[in-house]
């Protein structure tokens, strides 16, 4: 059996100098809040997102699974993120996500916050088409359907572009 030393999380961040070096890259990451929808109890997707975002140089606050809308609002006020990333694995992302983003947009101090959603957004599968247009209309800045994979999400983060819908074959 082999063991490997764990690197401290801070040493993997690109926007913070390694301890004792006095220098670091000039890239400044964003503050990102990661959450699931209220009915989603899956956590590995949130851990994956956190690690991905940290490797890209962002500072991540992961508030976990089954997050009620009120807690999401409170944490957005506490953390003051540059971006909120909502993930869904159970297929209720379209329903719960739309409600959550409407609640965020109803709060005057959170109205301008960038919010994206991704994952399995519906329970009927790929034959249901895309949920993107309705989620953009509800208030999301970008939607990443599960079939799109992570590359479109990474590209969005790097350019922080216009409203986007990504799914296999649908844009």
Question: pLDDT for 66-114, tens place per residue?
Answer: 999 999 999 999 999 999 999 999 888 999 999 999 999 999 999 999 9
**What's the pLDDT score for residue 23?**
43
Tokens 């089954």 found at: 66
The model's pTM is: 0.78
**What's the pLDDT score for residue 165?**
53
Q: If you average pLDDT over residues 151-170, what whole number do you get? A: 66
Q: Which residue has the higher pLDDT, 170 or 54?
A: 54
pLDDT digits (tens, 9 = 90+) for 134-157: 999 999 999 998 877 789 999 999
Confidence tier at 166 by pLDDT (50, 70, 90):
low
């Amino acid at each position: 059996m082999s063991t490997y030393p764990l690197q401290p999380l801070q040493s993997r961040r690109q926007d913070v100098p390694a301890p004792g070096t006095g220098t670091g890259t000039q890239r400044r990451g964003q503050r990102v809040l990661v959450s699931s929808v209220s009915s989603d109890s899956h956590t590995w997707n949130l851990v994956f997102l956190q690690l991905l975002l940290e490797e890209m140089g962002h500072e991540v606050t992961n508030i976990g699974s089954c997050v009620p809308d009120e807690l999401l609002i409170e944490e957005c006020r506490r953390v003051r993120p540059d971006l909120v990333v909502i993930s869904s694995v159970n297929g209720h992302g379209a329903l719960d996500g739309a409600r959550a983003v409407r609640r965020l947009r109803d709060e005057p101090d959170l109205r301008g916050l960038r919010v994206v959603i991704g994952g399995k957004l519906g329970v009927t599968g790929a034959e249901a088409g895309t949920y993107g247009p309705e989620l953009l209309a509800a208030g999301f800045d970008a939607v990443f359907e599960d079939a799109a994979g992570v590359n479109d999400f990474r590209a969005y983060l790097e350019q922080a572009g216009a409203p986007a819908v990504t799914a296999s074959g649908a844009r």
